[in-house]
């Protein structure tokens, strides 16, 4: 039987507080237990609850809205995700969620090395709020929830300060990481790889207030995207340095490889010296150049002939505790291609996997001690009109099944040295590890944030 599309109740609201503060207040309100907060180019979006939900694992893809539809595994999971989203009966929907790093195996049809873990989770929210400047656009599935969201946005917070408790990022897994760098050098010397990203895990031995950590960390970071989520049993807070891919409704595609790193200390003279060193280091330039080449090759597979070009090459971008070499590759989708084709082509990001990508994925699986999950995956939004925005999940804290941790890696090429690559992971971990706020902090529960960061 045909069912008419659902409609949201909508309103707009002028806000006295800054966008980041207002968005975090929605999360803290408890309006919805599951939520995604996503910052994209100065707009903070909150998605809470689920009118429709799409999940993917090795057994297939599922849609719940609220009736359930299941598509058994057929070797093309992203096509199944696309088809299920196309059948969502919510007018003007936007879906929010995450994709695990291991989706990279499944999207190529390989499930031999995948367990029963969830690979992708998207929701079309019951409540959605987009905040830019002093204006909030709210929509909700019912009027009562719309009023509750308005009240949460305008509630007067208590005055208090949260105090981060930095975690030691230097020692956990350090010896193992040095050995992993040496292993990578052997693989590269043998001709198996040109580049690979190996990572290490740093445990957090105390309970973290993720909302307070987001506020503290966002003020000190200048990310390409930021996010705060609790969805499908996965919690994360992060300050993404780069996008995996952005597809606009008109078919324009952008990828943004960042590779090559030096610390960002806050001392102007020291940072200028490190910047000059970064721009002149053959190892860093080589690592970056091959990443840009792969990004071009991947987009050419889904873009119109002649449309792919390097729009920006080897600029320096400051991202919290580090500065990176950054490039931007653009193109336009070929006829018959859609956003999920572009996502499949570039996922996982070459800057989180390696070159050649298939061989790098195999070596990551063989060398790293545990599955990556959200690390190196994506937090993303998908719109009914064909727009898609996917942030690379790095510089993040994670919590799942009572365990909390950080994770970071480095791009390993022929000139990589174990001590320098270990130091690079420490530099990257500083973007999140210095801003963890303990949940037991008596002033963290009702933090009033200061001005929004850059």
What is the residue extent of each domain of the chain? 174-199+250-370+401-433
> Looking at residue 205, what is its pLDDT?
96
> Looking at residue 449, what is its pLDDT?
38
Instruction: Kindly state the percentage of the chain with pLDDT values over 90.
Output: 85
> Looking at residue 157, what is its pLDDT?
67
Q: What is the pTM of this model?
A: 0.93
Q: Which are the contacts of 220, defined by CB distance < 8 A and separation ≥ 6? A: 320, 434, 435, 453
Q: What is the rounded end-to-end Cα distance, in angstroms, of the chain?
A: 51
**H-assigned helices in 190-267:** 210-220
Strand, helix or coil for residue 146? helix
CA dist 116 and 384 (Å) reads 29
CA dist 357 and 187 (Å) reads 14
Q: Is 72 exposed, middle or buried (0-12, 13-18, 19+ CB in 10 A)?
A: exposed
> Looking at residue 387, what is its pLDDT?
98
Options 3.40.50.2300, 3.40.50.150, 3.60.120.10, 3.40.30.10; CATH of 174-199+250-370+401-433: 3.60.120.10
CA dist 281 and 273 (Å) reads 12
CA dist 82 and 120 (Å) reads 12
Q: Strand runs (DSSP E) across 184-269, as ranges?
A: 195-203, 225-231, 234-240, 243-247, 252-255, 258-263
Give every residue of the chain whose pLDDT is below 70, as ranges: 1-5, 157-161, 441-454
| Pairing mode, strands 60-64 and 68-72 | antiparallel
Q: Is 242 noted as a catalytic residue in this protein?
A: yes
Q: What tokens appear for 367 in the block?
A: 């060398």
Q: 263 φ, ψ to 5°?
A: -70, 155
Active-site pick, 242, 284, 298, 368: 242
């Amino acid at each position: 039987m045909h069912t008419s599309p659902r409609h949201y109740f909508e309103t707009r609201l002028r806000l006295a507080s800054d966008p980041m503060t207002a968005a975090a207040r929605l999360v803290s309100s408890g309006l919805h237990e599951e939520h995604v907060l996503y910052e994209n180019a100065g707009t903070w979006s909150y998605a809470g609850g689920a009118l429709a939900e799409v999940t993917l694992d090795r057994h297939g893809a599922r849609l719940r809205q609220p009736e359930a539809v299941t598509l058994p595994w057929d070797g093309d999971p992203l096509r199944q995700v696309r088809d299920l989203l196309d059948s969502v009966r919510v007018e003007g929907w936007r879906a929010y969620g995450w994709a695990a790093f291991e989706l990279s195996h499944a999207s190529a049809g390989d499930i031999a090395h995948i367990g029963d873990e969830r690979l992708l989770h998207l929701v079309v929210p019951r409540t959605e709020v987009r905040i830019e400047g002093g204006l909030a656009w709210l929509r909700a599935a019912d009027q009562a929830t719309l009023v509750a969201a308005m009240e949460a946005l305008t509630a007067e917070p208590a005055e208090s300060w949260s105090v981060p408790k930095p975690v030691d990022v230097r020692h956990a897994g350090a010896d193992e990481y040095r050995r992993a760098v040496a292993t990578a050098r052997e693989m590269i010397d043998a001709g198996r790889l040109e580049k690979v990203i190996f990572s290490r895990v740093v445990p957090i031995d105390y309970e973290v207030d993720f909302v307070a950590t987001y506020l503290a960390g966002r003020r000190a970071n200048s990310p390409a995207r930021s996010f705060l989520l609790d969805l499908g049993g996965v919690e994360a807070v992060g300050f993404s340095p780069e996008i995996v891919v952005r597809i606009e409704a008109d078919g324009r595609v952008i990828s943004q490889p960042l590779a090559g790193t030096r610390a960002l200390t806050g001392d102007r003279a020291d940072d200028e010296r490190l910047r000059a060193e970064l721009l002149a280091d053959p190892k860093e330039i080589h690592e970056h150049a091959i990443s840009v080449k792969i990004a071009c090759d991947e987009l050419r597979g889904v873009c119109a002939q002649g449309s792919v070009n390097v729009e920006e090459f080897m600029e320096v971008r400051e991202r919290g505790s580090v500065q990176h070499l950054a490039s931007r590759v653009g193109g336009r989708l070929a006829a018959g291609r859609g956003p999920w084709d572009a996502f499949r082509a570039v996922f996982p990001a070459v800057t989180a996997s390696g070159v050649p990508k298939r061989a790098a994925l195999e070596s990551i699986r063989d060398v790293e001690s545990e599955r990556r999950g959200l690390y190196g995956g994506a937090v993303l939004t998908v719109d009914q009109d064909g727009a898609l925005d996917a942030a690379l999940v790095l510089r993040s804290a994670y919590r799942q099944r009572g365990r909390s941790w950080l994770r970071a890696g480095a791009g390993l090429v022929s000139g990589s040295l174990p001590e320098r690559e270990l130091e690079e992971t420490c530099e990257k971990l500083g973007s999140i590890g210095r801003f963890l706020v303990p949940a037991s902090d008596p002033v963290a529960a009702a933090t009033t944030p200061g001005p929004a960061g850059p």
